Amino acid sequence: MMLLGGALLSSCTDMLDKEPLDSFTNSPTFWNNPSSVEGYAATFYNLFTGYGNYGGSGDFYFKTLSDDQAGASFANWKYVNIPSDDANWTSTYTEIRRANAMIEALNEMATEMDEATKNHWLGVARLMRGWQHWDLVRKYGDCMWVDHVLDTDDPILYAARQDRDEVMDKVLEDLDFACKNINEEGTGVKTTWSRNMARALTANVCLWEGTFRKYRTEAENGKGPDIEGANRFLNYCVEVCNPLIANYPLSDNYQAIYNSTSLANNSEVIFCKEYVKDQLDHSLIDYTCTSTQISGMTKDAFDSYLFLDGQLKSNTSYDTSNDVAVFKYSPNDNADHLNIQHMLAVRDKRLSQTIDSVLCYTGEGGWPRTKGDNAMTSSTGYSVCKYDNVTIERAYRNQTGTNYTWAPLYWVSVVYLNYAEAKAELGTITKSDLDMTINKLKNRAGLPSITTSVNLNDPKMADAGVTDPLLWEIRRERRCELMFDNDFRYWDLIRWHMLDKLDTTNPKNIDITLGADMSNDIDGTYDGTLNGAFIDAYTIGDSRFDRTYESKHYLYPIPSNEINLNEKLGQNPGWKEEEEK
């Protein structure tokens, strides 16, 4: 059996790369052997980055372009200039070619394979083809839909890009086939292809596409809203979520999803990446308990967590004072450290499982999470503990490329969030829907349940242009549940048409640049820059770092060398003007 997290295989970045066809014996013998096909399909596992590989950065925590984190180094837009080449474009088409090669070979040569097995592997290939096209669409907008292996004289190579809506309609066809034909999950198998894995992946894609079509504007995204199309994707999201909700019970330990040495028996995990001690490792833990400054949680993110009575700070019955305890972590410690345990004790329980109970800041505020760890500092004072597992041997926690906790890829709390948001967007959500999704997450976090009439009178809702209080609270729940996970937040802001929230020059967004309240730093040991009482993460010395919103950042620029090869591709809005400067 091929497991996710196996040997990494390299691939070229050329749309005409022959490697997917030439790396095996291209014969009916190969394609009629399920084990051979499984080995070919295993290469797709490399697309699921998880926590990273062999010391490289992964999809969790490291993605600092959001309002949840202020990076230890300033995180600008994903692109500032037009690149000449870009693997986001070319490598994705290589994977599409790989999928098409598999589809063509199965259809033409797997004549002796039984229909169910053949359709399973066709489903895997179409799942990957659809998923990769979606990745192109969300990054570049219009692109070429490729459903066959290209030759050098193929007209597609010299054609204009296709409308992104047409491409996504074809993506949905691929995903639907996968959800109906990939085998049901075997008992206890969470690292291989399954129908439920396909459903979870499809739910993510359909929620993204449905909301993107609903909220996009012609001025900023090139096309106006498409409510009919949006509803089609949102309804399909609901459809594929239903069997997942029924079959994956929520576990009682929020943090265990992120810091376990095995997820094989975790009830809410649908698909995960297995890491193996001393064989396949990552560096996520090391980057969150290191002497190198940690990318910390912003004040904006901290304030998004509700108090245990389910209220905002302005309405809660709990003590809202910034009560901190000053303590020393050893007799020889010369610094007074600030313990924020009181502040965490009255908030959503996920907060205390996401950041440390001690502020970690430059000056004399470095603090080790466990005895023998390096003294940590955070760009905002709030250091990230969510992914750490202090029971693991220290050498396997704080050394680069030695961490071996498993990474969740698709899990049921995300399904709950997808389902509830899709139903809210469709206007069909009920109290029963909330009880089987959002309220389960809230109750695990120590928060009271909500009803469809919830309204916390959050002033930030109006600032964001949202008019539905229930939808706003579902979005809040998504943010807190998935804090620092999988680059969700950045792509959520894209699909909600809220990318301007990352503009650090807008006074309404000031809290995304700030960190912890240092008014209790009685000895004045913090030696960075403050904005009022709060750590200013993006002012270093005399230099201020800022991101200014421009609508062009909704889409990546088309690499210039691709346009040189085919001028009909054209450039994305806003970037064309940059190209002409």
- Sequence spans of domains, the chain: 1-47+85-182+550-581, 190-274+410-448
Taking residues 152-181, what's their average pLDDT?
A: 96
Q: What are phi and psi of 411, to 5 degrees?
A: -145, 160
Is residue 8 scored above 90 in pLDDT? no
C-beta of residue 94 within 8 angstroms of C-beta of residue 11: yes
What pLDDT score was predicted for residue 577? 66
Rounded CA-CA distance 167/162 in Å is 7
Q: Taking a C-beta distance cutoff of 8 angstroms, is the pair 335, 364 a contact? A: yes
Please count the other Cβ atoms lying within 10 Å of the Cβ belonging to residue 424: 22
| Segment 277-304 mean pLDDT | 94
Segment 495-512 mean pLDDT: 96
Q: What is the pLDDT of residue 365?
A: 84
The helix (H) or strand (E) run that includes residue 37 is helix 34-41
Rg (C-alpha) for the chain, rounded Å, is 24
The 8-class DSSP code of residue 535 comes to E
How far, in Å, CA of 113 to CA of 491, rounded? 40
- Rounded Cα distance between 160 and 381, Å, is 49
- Closest residue by Cα to residue 359 from 514, 527, 521: 521
Q: Quick: pLDDT tens for 432-463.
A: 999 999 999 999 999 999 999 999 999 999 98
**Average of per-residue pLDDT across 211-215:** 98
Averaged over 386-400, what is the pLDDT? 94
Give CA–CA dist 251/263, Å, rounded. 11
Cα(270)–Cα(481) distance, rounded to whole angstroms?
17
Q: Distance between CA atoms of 160 and 484, rounded to whole angstroms? A: 37
Query: What is the C-alpha to C-alpha distance for residues 284 and 324, in angstroms, rounded to an integer?
Result: 29
Residue 22 confidence (pLDDT): 46
Phi, psi of 512, rounded to the nearest 5 degrees: -80, -10
- pTM for the whole structure: 0.94
Percentage of residues in the chain with pLDDT exceeding 90? 80
Please report the pLDDT score of residue 2 as a whole number: 39
53: pLDDT confidence band, cut at 50, 70 and 90?
Answer: confident
Coil, strand or helix at 43: helix
222: left (phi over 0), alpha (psi -120 to 50) or beta: left
- The three state secondary structure string of 114-133 is CHHHHHHHHHHHHHHHHHHH
| Residue 9: predicted pLDDT | 31
First to last CA, the chain: 54
Q: Distances in Å between the alpha carbon of 463 and those of 153, 363, 460, 501, 515?
A: 52, 36, 5, 10, 21
- Percent of the chain scored above 70 by pLDDT? 92
Residue range 544-572, pLDDT digits in tens = 899 999 999 999 999 999 999 999 999 99
The pLDDT, as a whole number, for residue 302 is 97
- 52 pLDDT exceeds 70? yes
Alpha helices in 427-504 (DSSP H): 431-435, 438-444, 459-463, 469-481, 488-495
* Cα 46 to Cα 40, 260, 274, 322, distances in angstroms: 12, 21, 12, 45
Residue 327 has a pLDDT of 67
- Residue-level pLDDT at 332: 60
CA dist 364 and 577 (Å) reads: 48
The one-letter amino acid code at 315 reads: N
pLDDT at 333: 63
Average pLDDT, the chain: 91
Q: Which of 20-24, 271-275, 401-405, 512-516 has the lowest mean pLDDT?
A: 20-24
Joined together, the tokens standing for residue 159 give 């054609």
Give me 101's structure tokens. 């090669």
Record the tokens describing residue 38, joined without a space. 């499984």
In eight-state DSSP terms, residue 377 is: -
Is residue 427 pLDDT above 60, yes or no?
yes
Residue 280, SS3? strand
CB atoms within 10 A of CB 459: 8
Q: 86-95, pLDDT tens digit by residue? A: 999 999 999 9
CATH tag for 1-47+85-182+550-581 (out of 1.10.4080.10, 3.90.105.20, 3.60.20.10, 1.25.40.890): 1.25.40.890
User: How much is the average pLDDT of 568-580?
Assistant: 83
Average pLDDT over residues 139-152: 95
To the nearest 5 percent, what fractions of the chain are helix, strand and coil?
Answer: 40, 10, 50
Q: What pLDDT is recorded for position 245? A: 97
CA atoms of 34 and 39, how far apart (whole Å): 9
Residue 250 has pLDDT above 70, yes or no: yes
Average pLDDT rounded to a whole number, residues 352-377: 89
To which residue do tokens 């001393």 refer? 278
In eight-state DSSP terms, residue 191 is S
Q: Six-digit token pair at 278?
A: 């001393």
pLDDT value at 4 more than 60: no
- Report which of 130, 145, 120 is spatially closest to residue 99, judged by C-alpha positions: 130
